[in-house]
Structure 1
């Protein structure tokens, strides 16, 4: 009894810990894909640049950098309408994008709308007080206001300041270095861009735009701590810099900190409640966290405010698909296709196979026993339904024949992921007229992330499994705390459990299980393990040593085949060899 109380105290402590709530950067492939268009623009091949960048915009309609480059290309070609559309679309996606505001200032100045030009250039200089181009345009606006009799000459003069035109020599080293860094960034040469941004900062260490740009290229290289330092330096200089704050949000998402990103976005929303970029990021983070219904509501609000926002419509479809509402998701994707018929993102979603929310598992085991004991046979069939990415409900039927007796068992279980850090499960089963299986059983458990780890040593989780079984001659309770370590990006997973059994006579027996799961290739997985613990046989707990192993192979995304083998040695009883096969069908 003292040992039993001790074990249950440990279990209770672990269960309380389970209730606590504690958990790529992906290099912008888009920027590399559009390298040719940017290179053409930088070398004054504007027709080629327009063709490349228009194609890029079709591939990534929500990429603000692409749209800005396209806008300046249109300006160089004299297509004011095209430039205006590109810059306005950029600001819909990223309301704080300073270059887009400068482009609109150029357009307003060309059209003779001096108040409009002044408004935009003032906004640029508020964010970039040392922007040489904006200062030059400000001077020209002042001259134009004083020389209203010669608007054409002033407009012609302003053409020299268009950022898509031939480079104008600038004596300011900060401007030169920043321009070169921007070119490297657009070409995907992030290491070189980082060096240039750092050089520019030696001349102007308090330039917030340079610090934010530096943080972005560091993030693209997965230099997350360096990126964080850059964004934080920018905020130390300009505490209200929205670009720097959004940079920290993106950093949280890159590093898998969706909960931190959600908290940051909540803070930003309190000061900028109508900012569509923030609202869109909040909806996307909700979806990443598995809150598909809330994400749907957020995307729906964005669509209601602006039905032409393709990204919001796509997000709405993604949230519906995550909930298993495929028909509603397709309706959203079709609406997005009407808005942007050439979008590859939309077409990919329409072409993607529907997610599989149902799963059927069929397994069978055949056992041979030593001596003159008759063979055993077992079979099970389980049907599971996923309700979103976090919750799965399973119904299972199990039938077994042992020593010429047969039992049939029905089981219902549920598994739920509460957060990135904690997941749990529970089940209950019943066996009518039980001969050797428990009359009924209940159980549950979960896993708590202890540390996220890194590439080689991945996540470490603490696990706990609890089970209560009622037999005709008494109760059996099992408490099994454990640890699970992932290695090499989940290629190898090691599991250890301390198995504690309290039998019908209230005797305690300890045991253990160790297991290794190895993903040989994407479609082939192997496992092997050893256990030494009590096993039930006709309601009697017998010390049993078992060595086991098996493999599973994915024929395709829908069907998995598996096989397993185990050899059991029972103390003062028969030995048992188990041969098993099974399959999974997802639909």
Structure 2
């Protein structure tokens, strides 16, 4: 696909004045938060001079400004390999690590810069940001969300009905590395079940881990309780290893689920996630399923997802094989508000067929 260029074309023989003019255009676009225009100027310059660490540093900063922090880290690491002693690159890398939440790595980067030049420009800004991150400011509300879902159901015996669900929840930063999420989900079928949920996420360098728990008082079709744990770990620049474990108690017995998986970045905007879904049911033994998810887009940008799955699904009537297809769209409707809409079709063996739609609205609070 051709890329529209802004400004004069770059070449290997570009004069210093022409280069300076192009970089002025980049700075102007960056100041206006027009990161796409800045990227369009830089990419042909980098194509002409792929070993230029300063151009890679500038592109990394542009990608970070656009919210593409994983890609920004890849670009700044490329620059650091070409110019390991360049303090401008080292400082940019420290900021990118900080923005990604890799605070320990960012601190190490700041310490290394301080050892070489404690008065290096803008180093004090990075150190101040890290000091604020380390200061115990108490619990901070991170986000709140509302979800509504509607389903058209046809049971195995041909009976039709409408199900609906509502959820409300909030996420709280307990510290720089720990987030607590609480939610309440009400689902109405022929009866009403209300699930109370809690989850704590802990961020690590290159990944995260979590523990979770749910409880359903007097359940009709959901679990009585469940506990879970899992996480993700970056195995390489493009591969993330995933694991989820869950133990749930239903009226028919206790079920364990183990879901290992991988998420692979195919390119800048596409990622595919595959999971194996293993169910261990004391009454019916072991069952295996799986899911595949394709994502287009990045966090806090317009994004699409597609999911196909076939797996053993546990409810109060036991474990049944479920096949599903789903698609969704995430939209940033305002600076701090995100909207997600999704539709799905499910076919649960000897149980029901479902056509469902879901709408979710999320508000992110500003960082203090």
Task: Please indicate the TM-score interval, normalised by the length of the shorter structure.
Answer: 0.5 to 0.7
1:386 paired to 2:173: yes
Go from structure 1 to structure 2 and tell me whether the alpha carbon gap of 1:252 and 1:429 turns closer, same or farther (over 3 Å shift): closer
Residue matched to 1:493? 271
1:364 paired to 2:162: no
1:311 paired to 2:122: yes
Query: Aligned partners of 2:92 and 2:300: how far apart in 1?
Result: 32
1:544 paired to 2:322: yes
1:254 paired to 2:63: no
Given that 1:324 and 1:388 are in contact with CA atoms closer than 8 Å, whether structure 2 keeps it comes out as no
Q: 1:363 Cα deviation (Å)? A: 0.8
Q: 1:416 Cα deviation (Å)? A: 2.5
Residue matched to 2:66? none
Residue matched to 1:472? 251
Query: Aligned partners of 2:259 and 2:322: how far apart in 1?
Result: 16
SS at match of 1:319: helix
Residue matched to 2:293? 515
1:502 paired to 2:280: yes
What CA deviation, in whole Å up to 9, does each residue of 1:141-199 have, x standing for no partner?
xxxxxxxxxxxxxxxxxxxxxxxxxxxxxxxxxxxxxxxxxxxxxxxx9999x9xxxxx
Query: Aligned partners of 2:245 and 2:79: how far apart in 1?
Result: 30
Residue matched to 1:416? 202
Residue matched to 2:350? 572
Go from structure 1 to structure 2 and tell me whether the alpha carbon gap of 1:494 and 1:35 turns closer, same or farther (over 3 Å shift): closer
Q: 2:306 aligns with which of 528, 535, 540?
A: 528
Given that 1:475 and 1:503 are in contact with CA atoms closer than 8 Å, whether structure 2 keeps it comes out as yes
Q: 1:463 aligns with which of 234, 239, 242?
A: 242
Given that 1:292 and 1:323 are in contact with CA atoms closer than 8 Å, whether structure 2 keeps it comes out as no
Q: 1:424 Cα deviation (Å)? A: 2.0
Q: 1:406 Cα deviation (Å)? A: 1.4
Go from structure 1 to structure 2 and tell me whether the alpha carbon gap of 1:564 and 1:324 turns closer, same or farther (over 3 Å shift): farther
1:442 paired to 2:227: yes
Query: Aligned partners of 1:574 and 1:252: how far apart in 2?
Result: 46
- Structure showing the higher helix proportion among its residues: 1
Q: 1:287 Cα deviation (Å)? A: 3.8
Query: Aligned partners of 1:252 and 1:484: how far apart in 2?
Result: 17
Q: 2:337 aligns with which of 544, 559, 562?
A: 559
Go from structure 1 to structure 2 and tell me whether the alpha carbon gap of 1:584 and 1:434 turns closer, same or farther (over 3 Å shift): same
Residue matched to 1:376? 163
Query: Aligned partners of 2:91 and 2:55: how far apart in 1?
Result: 24
> Any residues of structure 2 matched to 1:61-460 within 5 Å, and which?
218-220=52-54, 254-255=76-77, 287=98, 290-291=102-103, 295=107, 311-320=122-131, 322=133, 358-370=142-154, 371-386=158-173, 390-403=177-190, 405-420=191-206, 422-452=207-237, 459-460=238-239
Given that 1:368 and 1:577 are in contact with CA atoms closer than 8 Å, whether structure 2 keeps it comes out as yes
Q: 1:429 Cα deviation (Å)? A: 1.2
Q: 1:317 Cα deviation (Å)? A: 3.3
Given that 1:360 and 1:586 are in contact with CA atoms closer than 8 Å, whether structure 2 keeps it comes out as yes
Go from structure 1 to structure 2 and tell me whether the alpha carbon gap of 1:380 and 1:320 turns closer, same or farther (over 3 Å shift): farther
Query: Aligned partners of 1:387 and 1:35: how far apart in 2?
Result: 46
Given that 1:565 and 1:578 are in contact with CA atoms closer than 8 Å, whether structure 2 keeps it comes out as yes
Query: Aligned partners of 1:396 and 1:190: how far apart in 2?
Result: 47
SS at match of 1:501: strand
Go from structure 1 to structure 2 and tell me whether the alpha carbon gap of 1:462 and 1:323 turns closer, same or farther (over 3 Å shift): same
Q: 1:485 Cα deviation (Å)? A: 1.3
**Structure 1 unaligned spans of 5+:** 1-30, 37-58, 60-188, 195-215, 224-250, 266-275, 327-355, 453-458
Go from structure 1 to structure 2 and tell me whether the alpha carbon gap of 1:543 and 1:220 turns closer, same or farther (over 3 Å shift): same
Which protein is bigger by CA-based radius of gyration?
Answer: 1
Go from structure 1 to structure 2 and tell me whether the alpha carbon gap of 1:480 and 1:520 turns closer, same or farther (over 3 Å shift): closer
Q: 1:32 Cα deviation (Å)? A: 7.8
- Structure showing the higher strand proportion among its residues: 2
What CA deviation, in whole Å up to 9, does each residue of 1:394-441 have, x standing for no partner?
1111111222x2121211112223112x32222111112222211111
What CA deviation, in whole Å up to 9, does each residue of 1:430-467 have, x standing for no partner?
11222221111111212232332xxxxxx122211111
Report how many residues are paired: 303
Q: 1:222 Cα deviation (Å)? A: 5.2
Given that 2:251 and 2:316 are in contact with CA atoms closer than 8 Å, whether structure 1 keeps it comes out as no
SS at match of 1:451: coil
Q: 1:33 Cα deviation (Å)? A: 10
